[in-house]
Amino acid sequence: MPVEFPPPELRAACEEIVARYPVRSAAALPILHLAQRHYDNWISPEVEAGVARYLGVGDAHVRGLLTFYAMYNHRPAGRHEVWVCRTLTCWLRGAAALKAAALARTGCARAGEPSADGRFLVKDMECLGLCELAPAVFVDGTPHTHVTPEALARLLDACE
């Protein structure tokens, strides 16, 4: 079923974003952020096609962005996202224990798969740019540094 994009409630915000760029296609990343927030934290193939039509690009262009950038979800995702950095500095400072704690606390079977109750999605991420404060995680877009498994469990318990 084709999706009309943008829906009326996003039209003004989308036009405002597109107006910032010299060409429509350059607005793809912020438009995809907006779409993901609006459509339950993921971009379905129908929304992907709607965004492509809106930006005047091919579906493959949008698909390429969705699959290249780890912050986008092209499959159903949980309401809360837990990004655990797995790059070297964080790895050496305990990222594996953080990932194990995140999976155990959220009920996610593995990274990249939402929990059965739809509340959480744990993602393996590459460097989050906070190496000097490792290990680092993001919970719903907020960075947390020098994180311990216990502190991460408390953060996750506070998610609705």
By CB under 6 A, name the binding residues for ligand FES.
Answer: 85, 87-90, 127-131, 134, 136
Smaller CB separation from ligand FES, 112 or 143: 143
Smaller CB separation from ligand FES, 71 or 127: 127
Smaller CB separation from ligand FES, 25 or 87: 87
Alpha helices in the chain, H assignment, sequence order: 8-18, 28-38, 45-55, 59-68, 88-92, 95-106, 149-157
Other beta carbons within 10 angstroms of residue 99's beta carbon come to 26
Rounded to the nearest whole angstrom, what is the least distance from the CB of residue 130 to ligand FES in the complex? 4
Rounded to the nearest whole angstrom, what is the least distance from the CB of residue 124 to ligand FES in the complex? 11
Rounded to the nearest whole angstrom, what is the least distance from the CB of residue 98 to ligand FES in the complex? 10
Q: Per DSSP, what are the bridge partners of residue 83?
A: 123, 138
C-alpha–C-alpha distance, residues 73 and 62, integer Å: 12
Rounded to the nearest whole angstrom, what is the least distance from the CB of residue 122 to ligand FES in the complex? 15
If we measure between CA atoms, which residue out of 49, 53, 47 comes closest to residue 24?
53
Smaller CB separation from ligand FES, 23 or 96: 96
Q: Can you say whether residue 141 is alpha, beta or left, with left for phi > 0 and alpha for psi between -120 and 50 degrees?
A: left
